[in-house]
Amino acid sequence: MDNSHQHTDVHAEEHSETMTKKRIWQVFFYLLGITAVEFVIALYLIPKGIIGHGIGNFTYIVLTLVKAFYIVAYFMHLKFEKFALRTIIVTVFVFIIYFIVLMLTEGSYLNVHMN
């Protein structure tokens, strides 16, 4: 019997056990709830002046990052990968965000001081 075929079947069984239909629906409803809260913030709380733009925007950004975590972790299956791969991906992401912030800061400085 072919050992490589057995190994892939075992790996597929392990992976399918970690992401069940129940878990998929649970994550879906988490995302739906977070999206509903974002809509309430964006369409009701900020326009009515119940919360300020700064607090509303900060909350909105945090909730969006939480949604991004759930999507990447469960639907893109990153939560079930090895620690080293997750660490590499997160490290690259941090450097990309740092680069974007650096370029925006530099661009804004040049825009202000060159004009």
What letter does residue 19 receive in the DSSP assignment? S
pLDDT tens sequence across 1-36: 555 555 555 555 444 457 788 888 999 999 999 999
> What is the DSSP-derived secondary structure letter of residue 71?
I
42 DSSP assignment: I
Tokens 């912030």, located at residue: 101
pLDDT in tens, 69-112: 889 888 888 778 888 888 888 889 889 989 998 988 888 777 77
DSSP class of residue 72 equals I
